[in-house]
Structure 1
């Protein structure tokens, strides 16, 4: 049996031990730290045994982990982190993608190098963070993140979550990318520039400046992070999607293919973030920036969504039937970004656009028979019943992403 890949991790606010996102200062940074650096939901293990390369873990009080896609009998599994195992089975102290056998039992293939028997020690299991990311600088309700992975561009994301803007308060976190930083408040080659968007882009956390918990979800690997937030907006209680990290570039030797997306205003007409769905960039409410143009010179440029079979102005509005009449499958295409309508730059790693006519879909619905994508995808829905505000994508939640 093959040890399963753990590079792609999914997190959301419904999970045991998950941090809270709300309209108070610092809550966005708490979410990012938990998912990119620390993990969460640690519990004490009752027993952990290995038999012919398969590990079985039991938590009598319940491990609190849920297998995505279980409703369709799709074993996507959950990425866990084990700690506290003593020699000779201390090789278990790492990341694994485990199957959720029951509310108290997890199993996974651990390979033949770990000897059979019962593990000893003060053993814990938790939801593992993704790998590769570091918080390189920090301040009060401020943080700068960077991927240290050898394949990554290594550019910086600065998050300001102090609520210092008099109008927006702590309902909104401000974000800016930099090509280099020397401390939390000093960076060079920002994207967007101050001329493009003064104060940076906005990640809307909450429609109200209070402690009311808001839904969030993160899908990430060591180079790219996608963040969904339902801020509780009065007009459209959907899930806006924000992006930071590398795209899969079409440009040979691309070293500036870091994308940052966000809103241009704190809230537009009471709507949630439109950054997940507008094809034109900058749109009426949102923008995606890439650090430099494909020629690797100059400053940051806008990206547009470029996808085939467009039935409307937004992502998720296609023309095909679902399932497609010719083969009975759901058709998708990689979600593509371009510097203009005729200049593709790269694809959003792990994300696929539905090419079918818009319909109301349910968050995290498994798709196991798709054309043009990996075998198993989960729906990451914009969560809105109006096709004018679509934004649904399918996501590879197993990996690895190319």
Structure 2
């Protein structure tokens, strides 16, 4: 199916709100069923229940990791990954583990338990997707699930889950260079590269002036580049945090760090250049737009791999 880009602005798009089942309805539409003129990503619902889903890629090259979504609440849903599952409530190699996060990680839907709609974007391919939600005013949350680009061809569990540890309406998930290495369970690998460690911590390596957040500012240049009017981006390298250090294990597919100070308009489509010539890039905010905590650049044309 390739890379697909979905938005709350699409005709026939599902509505995200502070109601039970709103997030599973959105994910059903985007990754399984499609809507309007938009084809689905080609995933499947492996197990289901009332406002419960376990989503899995059907790509033959995928890790087979499943995303369990418990959308029985209102303003947030709970997420947990599994390498295998036998029913909607049972699985192996959970990420995060119950010890790391008793109920799982939070996906932000809305700041109020109402049917009022909230803006959202979802970009993905057959093996992974990013979901950005505007749950509260200017605050955006970025969530990611699926297979990354592993550096080892034998890494059969190069799948990650990124969400939030807070149910605060002004909390946000995102690719944070500091928070992803402090022991927070919000970013986890499905399994260690040793094939035994459960839910090891995921870290990212980025170009950062303050070691806080991708796209935070203080980088090399203004946008656009005055020499040729282009945008500069860098891959987001992923680490597995181990005792006494870290392992460079892979990188995010189709998601990049901007090499610019603030000035990138959220939601703007930007033509790619260099290795990304011929592709469209979208700016996705990570945090509060009032302070422009960070941005990531997402390739919405693909392929990602």
- Establish whether TM, by shorter chain, passes 0.5: yes
Q: Offset of 1:274 from its aligned partner?
A: 3.4
Structure 1 segment 88-237 matched on structure 2, within 5 A: 126-131=37-42, 133-163=43-73, 170-233=74-137, 237=138
Q: Secondary structure at the match of 1:24?
A: coil
Residue 140 of structure 2 corresponds to: 239
Partners of 1:258 and 1:290 within 8 A in 2: yes
Residue 28 of structure 1 corresponds to: 23
CA radius of gyration, larger in: 1
Q: Distance in 2 between matches of 1:328 and 1:311?
A: 26
Residue correspondences, number: 298
Is residue 265 from structure 1 mapped to residue 169 from structure 2 by the alignment? no
Q: Distance in 1 between matches of 2:272 and 2:55?
A: 36
The CA deviation string for residues 342-396 of structure 1, in whole angstroms up to 9 with x for no partner, is 5222111111110122x14223323225455454332333161314x21x11111
Partners of 1:21 and 1:213 within 8 A in 2: yes
Q: Offset of 1:280 from its aligned partner?
A: 2.9
Measured at CA, do residues 369 and 378 of structure 1 come closer, stay the same or move farther in structure 2, by a change above 3 Å? closer
The CA deviation string for residues 74-107 of structure 1, in whole angstroms up to 9 with x for no partner, is xxxxxxxxxxxxxxxxxxxxxxxxxxxxxxxxxx
Residue number among 316, 334, 351 corresponding to 2:215 in the alignment: 316
Measured at CA, do residues 274 and 134 of structure 1 come closer, stay the same or move farther in structure 2, by a change above 3 Å? closer
Partners of 1:332 and 1:370 within 8 A in 2: no
Measured at CA, do residues 325 and 16 of structure 1 come closer, stay the same or move farther in structure 2, by a change above 3 Å? closer
Q: Offset of 1:205 from its aligned partner?
A: 0.7
Is residue 297 from structure 1 mapped to residue 200 from structure 2 by the alignment? no
Q: Distance in 1 between matches of 2:148 and 2:125?
A: 12
Measured at CA, do residues 127 and 369 of structure 1 come closer, stay the same or move farther in structure 2, by a change above 3 Å? closer
Q: Secondary structure at the match of 1:14?
A: coil
Q: Offset of 1:204 from its aligned partner?
A: 1.0
Is residue 337 from structure 1 mapped to residue 247 from structure 2 by the alignment? no
Q: Secondary structure at the match of 2:24?
A: helix
Moved runs in structure 1, 4+ residues, more than 6 A?
none
Q: What TM-score do you get using the length of structure 2 for normalisation?
A: 0.90
Q: Offset of 1:327 from its aligned partner?
A: 5.6
Partners of 2:279 and 2:302 within 8 A in 1: no
Structure 2: runs of 5 or more not aligned: none
Measured at CA, do residues 312 and 372 of structure 1 come closer, stay the same or move farther in structure 2, by a change above 3 Å? farther
Q: Offset of 1:276 from its aligned partner?
A: 3.7
Residue 302 of structure 2 corresponds to: 399
CA RMSD of aligned residues (A): 2.1
